[in-house]
Structure 1
């Protein structure tokens, strides 16, 4: 066995991170869809030969956390048929896809000296994979069969050659074949690039040293987590919370010196529609909050990091749904359980966790004929919102959710050119909500003016009735919702709607929530209230009625 020194360890680990980042950059530069190249609704990672996460690459944290689970399922379902040059695809939660059918995972095995030593993988949101509505996400879906084309961990490239039959099936099952084709090959290019870089790295330091380095760094990830666990308050913590639809979600968290146990078994049965999670998706939400409270600042996040975490679910429940459950709006359930655990622990970890944020992806799907070209377009984007205040400061304004992470909003110029919509305003939300000694961050108000007849809107927002929660006497935040102003003057309000017809001249106004406040608003310093008023964060009515300031 080759000798492994700490300098070599560090070089290999940083090289793996650089490889993940380079894969991300290659995919971003070559993808067809703005949801990928502008919003960055994607993720990349490298695993070891068994599918254990070796390095968390760039992209949405919850997407990166999908990739090890997807690779492990691909290995399980393709034993004996994994060869150099292969590329596999999955998008099905029952076959390692974890999320919903729009999010497609591509994975490639990496062989060195005839041994499978690693996998490169990526995931990205594809605009349309068939199903009952454009954009493939419907609040009305009752089974996964209605949501689009399922890829059950299948081979799409066989020893370097595309599997023509599978490729043609993909093209035939989308309303946007050019975009799907471009996004597909961008993903293939990224995993191939990563595989070459890993082979070069292993050749430079030796296969045995490379494999040892992966094992060593995972052991280090476990050590970091266990050390952090010992510093947390110990005990059992319980919370139940009503959701927008009236269901009650419950969680028990037990923190021990050597274990972090999240028990979600006592929860409702799986949803009759598309608001469900598979067990792996629930595990991801738990991994995110575990990382948040144990070691939020270090870059160490691999398979070893999560070894002290234990997650308990009940098959057939909303957090462990069974076939043929639908998953189109899985992300709203995933952020609900993430926020549920956050809220459960926040009163005991105020130095680490702020008050509740807008806590919704606010996924917005708008489509129809482009007014200039006549071609069908589909815009798919998450929205920015307000974060909760902490015991140290006001909350941040106009950021993506803690679940969604490293993404960007689509620039107005791109939206207007690619989608044929006018962006008429983007401003901070001045609605009441989130007041406190430290106030919650502000959500946004975003207007899209429709330019064509025959367009549509699909949304599935949560935190529209049950608002972002506060801490220490602060006020809860404001809701997430969408207003439609018809050109004839009618006003409609939605938080969930599927393929709502829109025509030229209609206005879509998106409101995202302000985060929850921290502490008694009446104790907020006068100069800070005046500054908020001057900057337009609050109205004079709020300054007077909530903060007690005469203006």
Structure 2
């Protein structure tokens, strides 16, 4: 066909972004669970007919890299023609079969046809509160295989030609402890993919399917060009890093950069474990893609073409390429460990783009039980916010989500207390000393949840609980992430990775998320900034004198 003018290309490409954003809003407004409509533990996107990501809505950055891989696996399980038809919706969550993350994160994907031809897919992913398994909330640190973590859905057709498949819906309802929430969140996701598909059909009717497909291909090529341009301006060479982890294991990465390619080598790492912190190869690729984007062109377009210059190497059977039947419920902690490890490896070579270490944990906090006012089962699912590292020229951000969670929010206290059987007694910046430097690390949070009913439970998944965030250029390390349960007897219990801890009425769950690492020698910090830190409660007077030599 003839070359498309740049204005029409821009209109089509921006329309795809607008459609992905509209899908996101449709899902958020219709969802039943606060973890979706308040926290935004979700993501939306559009792929081309082959499953390459074309645009995405807001939400969790790591989820953007999930949707394309899920759609590609659906195409493997349901080859064209014949098994994928107009009006179909597919559901998948199995990390060993295209689901990438863990069983709680459920992907819905819908093929979009124009003039009888498959031209795109609309897709979304969201955290469902409970998908069965050995414990409420489906996340257990005691799980040794994925079968204990819930219902596995491997590219299953949920809706056929616009009509729900009753038997699949019955299976879904029978495998959750919270069927009303499951069904509400599921239909919110279905409405989102359907609304996106309708908008894409409008776009193809206006411009024609040939032009639409050419515009998507052009957009992919642009993504590749932006990445290649960034590599031209990047330092070349081989960079290596190994890092001790909380459990005593050592993780290793080797990054090779030349003018046309970045190779991230994760092959020399521990074997997959018996617990639930394994990561699928696709999950490791997502972590590498996020790091690649951060150090190349973070403000540029992101689509399937963006990552053409990236190659990720893993070894099957290792922690970052786990094989069936590995449990993966707490995959997110090792995904963020890989992401952080790559950034630490490259930090000194990209000083303008990579700050000191951040709290680098999802700090997943799950509290559940029976609501004392309604008698209904509740499950709070809350990723926590923490401190980011200082960087050249500025202090780190206070109380932000990790790089994995990105554009999400903490649940408002009012919603938390209304929907869950808890009181939120305190939310304030964590005052534990750490992260000192010429530019200090941002502060984490201290949150107190008071339990209101007996026979409740706590599950948590925190890393950087022993090994704190790393400082840069003489800055000090940050502070750890951990949970303390304070019993009504006054007894204190500290946790980081644990599940099904019994809680009773009156017990207090205290969350502490870490400060980011500091940047530069603390002795060089501006005295006025130190006094401001004391005034704002970031620093106590004794630490100001001991670390910075400033008497308050």
State if a TM-score over 0.5 links the two structures.
yes
Contact between 2:369 and 2:421, CA under 8 Å: does it hold in 1?
no
Please state whether the residue corresponding to 2:397 is helix, strand or coil. coil
Aligned residues of 2:30 and 2:188 also touching (Cα < 8 A): yes
Give unpaired runs (5+ residues) of structure 2. none
Q: Which residue of 2 aligns with 1:329?
A: 330
Q: For 2:424 and 2:57, how far apart are their aligned partners in 1?
A: 32
Structure 2 CA distance for aligned equivalents of residues 336 and 408 of structure 1: 21
Conserved in 1, the CA contact under 8 Å of 2:104 and 2:127? yes
Asked whether the 8 Å contact 2:474–2:521 carries over to 1, the reply is yes
Hey, what does 2:44 align to over in structure 1? 44
Tell me how many residue pairs correspond in the alignment. Answer: 550
> Whole-Å Cα distance in 1 between the matches of residues 346 and 146 of structure 2?
34
How big is the shift at 1:57? 2.3
Contact 2:59 2:405 in 1 (8 A): no
Instruction: State the match for 1:394 in structure 2.
Output: 395
Q: Distance in 2 between matches of 1:89 and 1:392?
A: 46
| Separation in structure 1 between the aligned mates of residue 405 and residue 2 of structure 2, nearest angstrom | 41
Matches within 5 A, 1:124-523: 124-298=126-300, 300-523=301-524
TM-score of the superposed pair, with normalisation by structure 2: 0.99
**Partner Cα distance (2:58, 2:478) in 1:** 30
Shift of 1:364: 0.5
Once the two structures are TM-superposed, the CA of residue 3 in structure 1 deviates from its matched residue by 4.5
Instruction: Tell me how far apart the structure 2 counterparts of residues 440 and 144 of structure 1 sit (CA, whole Å).
Output: 37
Shift of residue 421 of structure 1? 0.6
Distance 1:333 1:134 in 2: 22
SS at match of 2:393: coil
Deviation of the 1:4 alpha carbon:
1.3
Whether the 8 Å contact between 1:2 and 1:208 is mirrored in structure 2 is no
Maintained 8 Å contact 1:2/1:209: no
Q: What is the CA–CA distance in structure 2 between the aligned matches of 1:12 and 1:18, rounded to whole Å?
A: 10
The SS at the match of 2:509 is strand
Which residue matches 1:64? 64
Q: How does 1:16-27 map to 2 (within 5 A)?
A: 16-27=16-27
Contact 1:3 1:209 in 2 (8 A): no
* 1:164-202 superposed Cα distances (whole Å, 9 cap, x missing partner): 000000000000000000000000000000000000000
Q: For the residues of structure 1 that align with 2:423 and 2:335, how far apart are their CA atoms?
A: 32
Deviations 1:221-246 (Å, cap 9, x if unpaired)? 00000000010111000000010000
**Structure 1: 5+ residue runs without aligned partners?**
none
Structure 1 runs of 4+ aligned residues shifted over 3 Å read none
Aligned-pair CA distance for 1:207:
0.6
Cα deviation 1:305-353 (Å, max 9, x = unaligned): 0000000000000000000000000000000000000000001111110
CA contact (8 A) 1:45 1:58 kept: no
SS in 2 for 1:546: helix
User: Does the 8 A contact of 2:21 with 2:56 survive in 1?
Assistant: no
How far apart are 1:550 and its partner, in Å?
2.0
Alignment of 1:120 onto 2:98 = no
Offset, 1:2: 5.2
Q: How big is the shift at 1:392? A: 1.2
The answer to whether the 8 Å contact 1:43/1:122 transfers is yes
Matches within 5 A, 1:65-84: 65-79=65-79, 80-84=82-86
- Measure, in 2, the Cα distance between the counterparts of 1:503 and 1:280: 39
Post-superposition Cα deviations, 1:335-385, rounded to whole Å, max 9, x if no partner, equal: 000000000000111111000000000010000000101111001010010
Distance, in Å, in 1 between the alignment partners of 2:208 and 2:264 is 40
SS of 1:348 mapped into structure 2: coil
Give the Cα separation in 2 of the matches to 1:550 and 1:32: 52
SS of residue in 2 equivalent to 1:120: strand
Report deviation, 1:56. Answer: 2.4
Q: TM-score, normalised by structure 1?
A: 0.99
Q: Give me the whole-angstrom Cα distance separating, in 2, the residues matched to 1:482 and 1:350.
A: 33
SS at match of 2:20: helix
1-side partners of 2:355 and 2:460: how far apart? 27
Question: What is the rounded CA distance, in whole Å, between the counterparts of 2:89 and 2:2 in structure 1?
Answer: 31
Residue 497 (structure 1) shift: 1.1
Q: Distance in 2 between matches of 1:412 and 1:550?
A: 37
Is the CA contact 2:399–2:429 (under 8 Å) kept in the aligned structure 1? yes
Match of 2:543 in 1: 542
> For the Cα contact (< 8 Å) 1:49–1:116, is it kept in 2?
yes
| Contact 1:464 1:480 survives alignment (8 Å) | yes
Aligned residues of 1:444 and 1:513 also touching (Cα < 8 A)? yes
Distance 1:255 1:165 in 2: 50
Q: Distance in 1 between matches of 2:89 and 2:64?
A: 18
User: Where does residue 34 of structure 2 map in the other structure?
Assistant: 34
Rounded Cα–Cα distance in structure 2 between residues aligned with 1:123 and 1:408: 17
Please give the alpha-carbon distance, in whole angstroms, between the structure 2 residues aligned to 1:53 and 1:537. Answer: 41
Whole-angstrom CA distance in 1 between matches of 2:55 and 2:183: 28
